[in-house]
Amino acid sequence: MEATGIRMAFDVASVKPSASGGDAASRFALGAGDAFVPGDVFSAINQPLIAYLRFAFKLGQSDLSGLPSWIYDDRFDIEARSNVNATKDQMRLMMQSLLADRFKMRAHIEGQMRPVFELIRARRGRIGAQLRPHSSADACTLIGSGPSSIPCGRAGPVAASVAGHGRFAGRDVSVARLAVLFTSPFTGIDRPVLDRTDLAGTFDFDVEWALPPDSVPGPGTSVEVPEPTFLQALQEQLGLRLKSARGRVEVRVIDHIEPPTAN
């Protein structure tokens, strides 16, 4: 997404190198999903700058190029307030302005041929039980609560039914929007996902899978991978699968970025 027309910016903002040394946290999820806590405040601590970049431009894991290593290593606390009760997309536009002002970011978009995954139907003419065409007669209510709440017409991560699972859900969204979510550390998918299902219209969906274990096995040992994996859940629950391919994707190339100016 791009800022167009009137430039949106936070009314006040504080950007500081993080000194907490604790876990990264934010008032609402900073990924490509739509989970959001409405209001006029943006608040995140101990986040690498890459997280703010991906939030600002609604990007996946591999949609940025030309980044120095400190973007991943150095962490920042950002507290900002808007003079409007902003939507999440408006917050993204404000973050774009903050990155340009405080980090002197300049960037452009270019098309590149890259390894991708194509999202296709697992079985011709069929979809899974947890991917349902949305009808105007269907109830369309908020999914989840608090920082993980998602309004109708949006999609994103929500609380899973059991610990150790990941879960994405949405109501009244296109399959193309769904595909964007799949490129995520939680799914293990590290390439752009392109919708090739030919499924028109909008859908309600809910997919849940077992997250891989955090521990690294020692030499000569093995770790049992919990099931269903994301790929298994994708096929069993949504009736979709991923196919390796090469495709042209839009990549944001960072031409210049530097450590932030003082508050």
pLDDT digits (tens, 9 = 90+) for 127-180: 999 999 998 877 777 887 777 788 888 898 888 999 999 999 999 999 999 998
Q: How far apart are CA 93 and CA 252, in angstroms?
A: 15
Q: How far apart are CA 77 and CA 30, in angstroms?
A: 13
pTM of the full structure: 0.74
pLDDT band, residue 73 (cuts 50/70/90): very high
Inform me whether the pLDDT recorded for 218 exceeds 70. Answer: no
Collapsing DSSP to helix, strand or coil, 54 comes out as helix
Q: What is the pLDDT of residues 83-137, one digit of tens each?
A: 989 999 999 999 999 999 999 999 998 998 999 999 999 998 899 999 999 988 7
CB 42 within 8 A of CB 95: yes
Smallest CA-to-CA distance from 36 within 100, 97, 90, 96 is with: 90
Average pLDDT over residues 236-249: 96
CB 72 within 8 A of CB 118: no
Inform me whether the pLDDT recorded for 63 exceeds 90. Answer: no
User: What are the backbone angles phi and psi of residue 97, rounded to the nearest 5°?
Assistant: -65, -40
Q: Is the peptide bond before 228 cis (omega within 30 degrees of 0)?
A: yes
Question: What is the token pair recorded at 80?
Answer: 């900002």
Smallest CA-to-CA distance from 188 within 69, 60, 65 is with: 60
Give the whole-number percent of the chain exceeding pLDDT 70: 91
